[in-house]
């Protein structure tokens, strides 16, 4: 008698990202946050991501899940770049 088993490590039919994950495009680009993951077989299939561009503007776009790769949520301290701000000087 044959029995069917479910391989818990087979994720080929499951999206590789979830809402709240941090992702980048496989081709490179900004770190983005996943805000929506569409259902398979529907017109709204895809992954909706949001990020801030280099001007601080909020951007949003839909991508195919195979275009994205997951990234760690935290950023290593060595990769953080701080901008120096100059204080405003009032002249009278």
Is the pLDDT at 65 greater than 80, yes or no? yes
Is 17 within the bounds of a domain?
Answer: no
Is 86 within the bounds of a domain?
Answer: no
Is 45 within the bounds of a domain?
Answer: yes
- Phi and psi dihedrals of 4, rounded to 5? -100, 140
Residue 61 has what pLDDT?
A: 95
Per mean pLDDT, which of 59-63, 68-72, 81-85 is the most reliable? 59-63
**Numbers of helices and strands, H then E, in the chain:** 0, 5
Q: Is 54 exposed, middle or buried (0-12, 13-18, 19+ CB in 10 A)?
A: exposed
Kindly tell me the sign of the dihedral angle through the C-alpha atoms of 75, 32, 68, 12: positive
Is 52 within the bounds of a domain?
Answer: yes
Q: Which domain holds residue 66?
A: 22-72
Question: Which is more confident, 47 or 77?
Answer: 47
* pLDDT tens digits, 8-60: 444 443 457 899 999 999 999 999 999 999 875 555 679 999 999 999 999 99
Total tally of structural domains belonging to the chain: 1
Q: Is the pTM of this model over 0.75?
A: no
Is 91 within the bounds of a domain?
Answer: no
Is 3 within the bounds of a domain?
Answer: no
């Amino acid at each position: 008698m044959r029995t069917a088993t479910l391989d818990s490590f087979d994720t080929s039919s499951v999206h590789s990202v979830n809402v709240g994950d941090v992702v980048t495009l496989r081709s490179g680009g900004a770190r983005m946050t996943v805000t929506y993951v569409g259902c398979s077989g529907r017109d709204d299939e895809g992954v909706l991501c949001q990020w801030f561009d280099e001007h601080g503007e909020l951007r949003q776009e839909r991508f195919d899940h195979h275009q994205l790769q997951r990234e760690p949520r935290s950023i290593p301290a060595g990769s953080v770049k701080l901008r120096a701000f100059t204080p405003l000087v009032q002249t009278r």
